Each structure stands twice: as structure tokens, then as C-alpha cells.
Structure 1
Amino acid sequence: MNNRAQAYTDEILAQLMGDLESDLVERKANFTGSAPESVREAVCAFANDLPGHGRPGVIFIGVDEHGHPTGLPITDELLRTLADIKTDGNITPPPTLTVSKHHLRGADVAVIQVWPADSPPVRYKGRIYIRIGPRRGIASAQDERILNEKRRFRDRPFDVHPVEQAKLSDLDLRRFELEYLPALLPPDLLAANERSLEERLAAAKMLDSVERQTPTVLGLLIIGKNTRDFLPGAYIQFLRIDGNTLEDDIIDAQEITGTVSDQIRLLDAKLAAHNRISVDIASHTVESRHPQYPLPALHQLTRNALLHRTYEGVNAPVRIYWFNDRIEIISPGGPYGAVTIENFGQPGVTDYRNPNLAEAMRVLGFVQRFGVGIALARKWLRENGNPEPEFYPTPSHVLVIVRSV
């Protein structure tokens, strides 16, 4: 959570609820009709904090435009639906927000508090929303430049730190224009975009700024020509071992390199090639086929390893060791932020060491929702007959063990 401002007290929330002039407040009488869309736009705008308040923006649900409670029932289901705004993958990078029920002015209301992002711009469905006085709007080219300039080096996640040794020529600009931009921007914005290539790269956080044109860690991970020249640990070490210990024979070994997209695609092919399918014709009237491992579960767990690993100050890769009886996935970097060794893997507990990489993986289609990868992996493993995945987080790495069916 942004540490420059604390959550508001009930006293301050009650004042903001009735302050019709404040550009830190949005009010919704209910959460039906167009409200879910406009609330997400408001979350995006408050996260961008174009006016530079440095304080949370507030969205009241169950409050009319005049600041009066509507009596809307504030149920647990409503609160869960509002909390899903953070993780449904439509706002990227994932915003920092809290959702809670408060008793204000004699009635219960739902309150969303949205902290300013450390690394703007933040997008909702590819569009950058900002607050313009008491209303919302789409950012202009000048607004985007201001948001880019607001990134402060000491506050930024490592994934958007500039890599001083790198140059613009180290980025694959054709790949950016043909692969990343069309996935990032809606077609109408892409067609109307009059910004220079350097401005587009900076807005996508691939460059530090238009003026400096220094590639960021994110730029090298997503469109770098030779990513490991600058981030030595940014690769996957894959081993297929014919046995159950590291002393047994290795039948396949590969260092999987390239951009994050390249690594995911090559690894997916490697996982599919080694996944044995068993055929059961005895216990059913219809032939039944069961893979040794459900591939969607392996995809979730390996992509989590790439997304949540640390890229800062380490030369260690993500390691995937496929034994005869299990797969071990080892990701450099322990739990981060709100995720601890004690609560690792618990439903609803998530944080992002690399929030901008999360955004890019969402843009490229490798992540559909945030914070549900482990739950989905558990579901697919269970349905396939595999044991529960085992998680062993430490301060320096996370080990996941997936056992064979």
C-alpha cells in the first residue's frame, strides 16, 4: 500500500461524503446498470491522481449525488463484488484499494478507497482515465506526459526502473508496434493515436521517459532483443530427470531464454511434450484419458513463478525440475508485501512485486484475472486426480511441488 497517506477515518469519510465540490469523491446510489463501469473508471482515475493529491480517492456506494445515504443494503456479496474490481484484470497495473462497510450519517454505505499509483499511467480496458475536477475523462497526450513524469525513481517498483546500460536500440520496436500496442489499446484509440513512438513506449513504461529514452526492466522483459545481456537471471532452467532425485540421469535440459512471451510459449511446448497421457479402457465403457498433470494447472503455476519472482540483483533463473513422480518449480524471491510465509497461498491474499509486468502479461493474454492462479491450479489438479500442490515459501525463494497422478 502506498505509504504516503493513511486510510481515512470515519469522521473524514463523513465529511467527504457530503463535500460536493471535492475531486477526491465519487458517489453511486447503487451498483447496478452503468455503475460497475463508471466505478471502475473512477478507480482508474483516482489511481492516476493527475492533480497530485497524494491521498486516496473515495467512491461511496449507497450514496446519492447530493451526498445522502440511499439505504442500499451493504451485503457481503456486494463487498466481494466491489473487491473483485482489483483483481478482475480490467484495471492495470492492479490498483491499491480497500473495500469496507462504514456507518456514516446514520446509514451503512460501502466505501472504496483508492491510493495513487506509484507507477502511472493506470488503464481501464486500455484507456487512461483521469479526474478533471468533479468529473472523469480520458487523458490527453499532455496528461499522459504529466503522468509519466510523476513516476518517482525511489517509489517505483523495480520492473519500471531504468536500465542505464541499455539503449533504445536494445528494444524490438517492430514487436512493440505489431504485437504489444494492438493488444494494449482499443482499436479506436490505436487508430487515433498521434503520439510519437517514443511517447508510446514511455506511456507503456518500456522507456524511462521520452527525454532520456532509457529502456526499463519491463521494456527489456517484454520487447528486449537480448534480455539476459541486462537481466542475467531472466530465463528458465528446465530439467527432465529420469528418476526422483537430482543424481538420476537427465534426459532433457534446456535454458529457455528470450522475452517473457518467448519463455512462456517455449515452456508451454516443453511441458506438453513431456506430459504422459494414460488410457483407461478397463473401468469405463468409454475409453478415458488422463494426463499425468493437467496442463492448465502447470501453466498457472509456472506463469506465477515468472510474474512474482524477483529480477533485482539476482542471477538465478526460475527452475523447473521434472522428476518421474513430481515437478518442482522454484522461483527466486520470497513472498512480497501483504503476502507472507504464514499466509502464502490463502484465498484473497495477493500482492505484486512486479505490478507492471502483471499488466503486460495481462495485455498479452497470459493472465486473465489477478490473484486466482493458485486457486485455479488447485481446482484443475483436484479434478485430474492429482494431490494438492505443496508450497514452501522462504525469504529467498518459493518452491512449489506438484505430484504426479
Structure 2
Amino acid sequence: MDLVELRGLVALLRARATDLTDLEAKSAVGGLPKSLRDTISAFSNDRGGTIILGLDERTDFSLADGFRAAAIRDALASACAGELEPPVRADIDIVDFGEGAVVVAEVPELDPRFKPCYVKSRGEYNGSFTRGGDGDRKLTDFEIHLLHTNRGQPDDDRRPVPDATIDDLDGASLGSLLRRVRQRQRRAFDGLGDEAVLRRLNVLTPDSGDRLVPTLGGLLALGQYPQQFFPQLNATFAVYPGVSAEDIPAGGPRFLDNRTFEGSIPNIVDEAVAAVLRNTSLRSFVEGAGRRDVYDYPVEALREVIVNALIHRDYSPYSRGTPVQIVLYADRLAVANPGGLFGAVTEDDLGGEGVSSTRNPVLVKLLQDVQLPDSDRTVCENRASGIPTMLREMRRAGSAPPEFHNRINRFKVIFPRHALLTSETMEWIEGLGATGLTATQQMALAQMREGRTITNQSMRNFGLEGRRATIELADLVGRGLAVRLGERRHARYVLVPSAGRPSISDVSQTDREGIVLAVLSARPDMSRRDIEVATGLGQITVLRTLDALIAVGKVEATAPARSPLRRYRIVSGP
């Protein structure tokens, strides 16, 4: 890591006044902190992270007095190699900073085949950690189980359900499935009786004896009422009147709708989609000489998010008491399922062409031949098309892209309710005077205008590949429309105040300081005018912000106040 990048990270820490999910800073003056082993474990089990040692949070992340960089570097390398299992291959450097130096360690995410990473002295079940906010949290037994299953292929959907019989499967659904597979795969099933075909499809399997019983996957795909055997393998639906479960009008109802969907997965999908649509409204879009009406959440995207939650959730005994949860708020729809992303798929991969890893292969294979109720459409395609369909349909509807939140024990998708590129927003974008903006740049600006930070992943959710996302974000910075906070994996982009705010008074002091620090971290020794141009802030605002930063020792001036040579730079040392 070079000095410019380090300055960017320190500016980000100072702007946020705390550690971040993927960034940890400690003074380490008295030696390597014991808690740092937990952090290394957590970064390894999540998406990786950066550790900076030698900065004191109590003094606004300035250089810690008495820090010994070489000794701490050696101690950190020793801990990574000998105190964690498996050993962590961190990239550890000493970086000059002001009048001293700090130790920077880039901790990579561990290969899923070897997770969890744990502190040896505490053992796997007491020494495995994950990140929670800006701290470390011990993994639960369920989370460790999920990491273990990620090393191979789970077979929960292939397991027999001993108390069930073939009579617990729906006869009409069985008949339709048999006709479809015999027609589509004649060679595989030619000359076989129904029972043999169902065994080959893993709908039926022998139990501990020779008696044929349904598999879990067979029961979920074709059962009359799987909840007789697994009461919580269903989906719940709640509609709140406000933007949170606690946002309830005085004297108003707690729920606008509250129900549970049961039966087979095809029935759950059908009823859940219908229920969400009943609780949402239509929006109209002009297309050419006509008009197109769409729901707040496009039907295709809605169906895909519910199907994905049901077919990719964890079905191990640990989570059979947890349903898929569908929650509709005033401003968003959230769909969550137990079990995070499976296999080598990461959040960065979501939406990519051909990206797929199936936790429940028997169930998924069956549902590509099982039809939805009163339809000739099957439940899923098994072509890694679910998330790309969500992204495409949300874009077509002019909505903000879905947000993906992956944790070891849960995966959640959030659909924002509002339209992103409204006529008012488009007028604002045109008023910026920036010609030739791409559609994805316009969507990014619209989200930044709402106060959201944009990342490379955000742009990929708009449908761009990684390199193109980086180019388009850099172009927004070059046009003076956005400013970057942080570097590389920590880079976040926000709107410059003059582009997105009707009045500079609407920008908080913390926001102004963070933006000025971010600009100075990338270009040291800037004049006041340079800072005005780069940030979009007015002259008086820049001067007041610089005075505030100088007063707390974050920024220094290179010449007296009235000198034409006066420039500004970040204070690197204590």
C-alpha cells in the first residue's frame, strides 16, 4: 500500500470517526492487541479487510506515540502464521506516515474450502469470528456448520423423510412431472415404471429398510402438505405501515397484512407473489405512443427473488425451524432466507453471466420440471438466470437496483420501492450540464442524490462489468460530479454538494470535512480554489471547513493566511 492510499483510508476513518466493517485501526503501542487475532479470523471468514496498526483512535487516528513498527510487523506476521488455523497469508507492510510509520496488513478472504479460520488457542467453536458493524462477533454453531457444508455438496434435499409415504405427494403434480421428463429425456427413462423414474429423479429413496419414502426435495417440490413433517419450512409475509417494524401510527394497526404461506414450493411461490402484488400499487410509464403499467415491484423480479430464497436456503436440521421471511415496508421489500451464499459464489459475482452454485441440487433439478399452479411455466430454469432477471426487470421498471446482503447465516435481498429516474430527477440531471452521461451514470447520480454512497459493486448491480464500472465512476469524479472517499476496495463515491443539494446549509459539517479530507488525500498541497473546484463547495464554506480541520490538527497550511502561496495538506503525523 502506498502513502496516497493510506492517507485516503485515514481520511475515511476520520470522516466516519470509527472503524469500518472491512477496516480496523489500533494503536498497538503496548504490543500486538490480543483482540487482533479475533479480527484476523473475522476478516478471513468474511470478505477480507485491512488492518492499520500505529494509529490512535482517541486522537482522531493520528500516529500513536511510542509505536514500534518493526516489532509489531514481526509479531503480526508470527500471529498470522502460527496462532490461526489455517494460517493466514496476509500482505504486511510498513508504510511511512508523517514523522513515523504504521503497519498495514491486507487480510484476504479465506477459500471457502478451508473456512472457518479460528484462533488456535480457543478452538474452532470458541475461536471463530465474523464482523458485525465495526466489531468482531463469535460465530454460532449454526454458522460454523454452514461453513463446513460449504466445503462440499450438502445432501439435505436428498435425505429420506421416514414418516412420509408416496401418498403424501400430490398425484396431479406427479403425473405432470412424469409426462414432462419422459417426453424431454426419453433415453434416460425409456422402459422404466413410474416408481423407478421417481427413484431416478430422487423424488423417492429407500429409508433405513427397503421401504420407499419421499426425499425432502421431493416432498418440498411435490408434496401435498410438507408442513405436516416440517412445520416451519414455509414462508411468512408481513406488511408494515411505516419504514420499520416500530414505525406504527398512533392508534393504527401493527400490520397491514400478516400471513403464512404453506404447501409445496410451487404453491408458496404462487400465493406469495399474489399477496405482495395485492399490497402494492401500479405505476405508469410512457413508451412511444403508448403506456406501460407496472407494479412497484416487477412481477418477474418478484417471482425470482421468492423462488431463489426457497430453493437456495439452507435445509439442514439447524435451520428447519426458520421460514423464508418476506417483509413489505412503506419504502422497500425485503426477502430473507437462512443460509448465506453457497460455494465459491460471492456478492461480487452476483448478476454475472453463468454464475451459479447450488446448495440443493435435487430440489432445483426437480423444480425445473415442476409447474406453477394453473400455469405451463416451471418454477425455475436452473440456468443461473435468477439474479440477472431481477437486475434486468428492476432496470426496465426504472427502479433502483436490488441490494444484496450476504452473511454466513442469512442472505437478504432488498427491493427499493421508489422509481429511480423520475421526471423530476431527470430534470435535475439535465441541469448539471454534463452531456454524454450513460444510463448507469445517471442511475448512480440519482442514488447519490438521495444520500447513498456508490461503490463499484453498486455499478455492477446496474449491469456493468467491473472494469467498466470503475471507468464510469472515475468519469463522474473527473466531471466534478462525485468525489471518492477511500481507495481500492474501500472506495466509496458521494455527490459533491453543489451538484446534489439545493442549499449548502443542507450539508452537515461532518460531510463537508469528510469530502475535503478525501480530496486532499488524493492531491496533497492544494490551494483553496483547487478545493472549491474539486468539491463543489463555495469559497466561504471551504474556508470555514479548512479552519475547522486545521483547529483539530487534521489539516495544515503551507503559508500565512493572506499569502498567494498558501496551500493545504493533510497532517500525516501526530
| TM-score normalised to structure 1 length | 0.56
User: 2: distance between equivalents of 1:376 and 1:395?
Assistant: 24
Pairing 1:307–2:311 present: yes
Deviations 1:196-230 (A, max 9, x none): 33222212211114933022101211222320122
RMSD between superposed Cα atoms in Å: 2.7
User: 2: distance between equivalents of 1:376 and 1:279?
Assistant: 21
Q: Of the candidates 396, 405, 420, which is equivalent to residue 383 of structure 1?
A: 396
User: 1: distance between equivalents of 2:214 and 2:341?
Assistant: 27
**Alignment correspondent of 2:159:** 161
Cα deviation for residue 311 of structure 1 reads 1.4
Aligned AA (2:167): S
Seen in structure 2, the aligned counterparts of structure 1 residues 280 and 160 have a Cα distance that, compared at 3 Å, is closer
Seen in structure 2, the aligned counterparts of structure 1 residues 195 and 390 have a Cα distance that, compared at 3 Å, is same
**Alignment correspondent of 1:171:** 169
**Alignment correspondent of 2:269:** 264
**Alignment correspondent of 1:230:** 229
SS at match of 1:399: strand
User: 2: distance between equivalents of 1:188 and 1:357?
Assistant: 18
**Alignment correspondent of 1:336:** 342
Seen in structure 2, the aligned counterparts of structure 1 residues 209 and 194 have a Cα distance that, compared at 3 Å, is farther
Q: What does residue range 3-402 of structure 1 map to in structure 2 within 5 Å?
A: 157-172=155-170, 174-186=171-183, 189=186, 194-209=191-206, 211-247=210-246, 248=248, 249-279=254-284, 286-313=290-317, 314=319, 315-340=321-346, 343-364=349-370, 365-402=378-415
Cα deviation for residue 254 of structure 1 reads 1.2
Deviations 1:152-180 (A, max 9, x none): xx9762111112232333333x2344222
SS at match of 1:208: strand
Cα deviation for residue 346 of structure 1 reads 4.6
User: 2: distance between equivalents of 1:234 and 1:162?
Assistant: 16
Cα deviation for residue 351 of structure 1 reads 0.5
User: 2: distance between equivalents of 1:339 and 1:280?
Assistant: 35
Larger radius of gyration: 2
User: 1: distance between equivalents of 2:192 and 2:382?
Assistant: 30
User: 2: distance between equivalents of 1:280 and 1:216?
Assistant: 46
Aligned AA (2:293): R
Percentage of identical aligned residues: 26
Seen in structure 2, the aligned counterparts of structure 1 residues 201 and 385 have a Cα distance that, compared at 3 Å, is same
| Structure 2 unmatched runs, 5+ | 1-151, 249-253, 371-377, 420-574
SS at match of 1:289: strand
Deviations 1:245-271 (A, max 9, x none): 112331111100001111111122223
Aligned AA (1:215): P
Aligned AA (1:291): Y
User: 1: distance between equivalents of 2:291 and 2:348?
Assistant: 43
CA contact (8 A) 1:333 1:395 kept: yes
Seen in structure 2, the aligned counterparts of structure 1 residues 250 and 167 have a Cα distance that, compared at 3 Å, is same
Seen in structure 2, the aligned counterparts of structure 1 residues 214 and 156 have a Cα distance that, compared at 3 Å, is farther
Seen in structure 2, the aligned counterparts of structure 1 residues 346 and 292 have a Cα distance that, compared at 3 Å, is same
Aligned AA (1:351): S
**Alignment correspondent of 2:515:** none
Aligned AA (1:295): V
User: 1: distance between equivalents of 2:231 and 2:278?
Assistant: 27
Cα deviation for residue 288 of structure 1 reads 5.0
Aligned AA (2:315): Y
SS at match of 1:198: helix
User: 2: distance between equivalents of 1:284 and 1:195?
Assistant: 55
CA contact (8 A) 2:236 2:326 kept: yes
Aligned AA (2:408): P
User: 2: distance between equivalents of 1:383 and 1:305?
Assistant: 22
Cα deviation for residue 285 of structure 1 reads 6.8
Seen in structure 2, the aligned counterparts of structure 1 residues 341 and 288 have a Cα distance that, compared at 3 Å, is closer
User: 1: distance between equivalents of 2:341 and 2:285?
Assistant: 40
